[in-house]
Amino acid sequence: MAIELSTAGILLGYAIETVAGTKPSAFTQIKGAKSLPDMNPEPSTLETTPLEATEWKTYIDGLKDPGGALAVTFNMSNDLQTTWDDIVDKYKTAAEAGKKTWWEFYVPGLTKAFFFTGNPSPLGFAGAEVDSVLENTAYITPNGNIGWDSAVKPTASA
């Protein structure tokens, strides 16, 4: 019987490649994520039906589209600004050296975690309403290496 899992305890981590093209072996936790994006896009389907077909169309899988920049929601704070600015700076330095930034969704209870490479965008201002928590959305544009792999629990930053 399967053991059902909760979203409680899910961690968001990031790491910069030390060797270009190689997934890092350690990830740093980004504290305070309130929601993570859907990374399970439906593949497009490409019709392959020949003219001689008389009853059923046939298809092959096409590409999956994660939908462009992915949104991660946080409560806005000085810590978030400092952390995210640091991540963006590290990303820029790494990109100049031909290295990618990796992201991890770590789920306690699973032996695999979800990974992808992507570019973080600087924070903007997400708006505000009366009598509400001030939140902000951090955006990451995926650029490859998307999928499940052996879990690496992110460690909290100092």
User: CA dihedral in degrees (119, 21, 147, 7; nearest 10)?
Assistant: -60
| Sheet containing 112-120: order of strands | 33-35, 70-75, 135-150, 112-120, 101-106, 11-16, 28-29, 155-156
Q: Coil, helix or strand for 11? A: strand
Q: Per residue in 123-137, pLDDT tens?
A: 999 899 999 999 999
Task: Mention every residue, 6+ apart, whose C-beta is less than 8 A from residue 72.
Answer: 12, 33, 35, 36, 37, 137, 138, 139, 140
Q: Which pLDDT band holds residue 158 (cuts at 50, 70, 90)? A: low
Is 1's pLDDT higher than 70? no
Q: Are 41 and 64 in contact (CB under 8 A)?
A: yes
Cα first-last separation, the chain: 40
Contact between 128 and 75 under an 8 Å Cβ cutoff? The reply is no
Whether the CB-CB separation of 33 and 118 falls below 8 Å is answered with no
Q: What pLDDT was estimated at residue 48?
A: 96
Helix (H, G, I), strand (E, B) or coil at 92: helix
Q: Backbone phi, then psi, for 81, in 5-degree steps?
A: -55, -45
SS3 88: helix
Q: How confident is the model at residue 115, as a pLDDT? A: 96
Other Cβ atoms less than 10 A from the Cβ of 67: the count is 12
- What pLDDT, on a 0 to 100 scale, did the predictor assign at position 152? 87
Give the model confidence (pLDDT) of 11-48 as tens digits.
Answer: 999 999 999 999 999 999 999 999 999 988 888 999 99
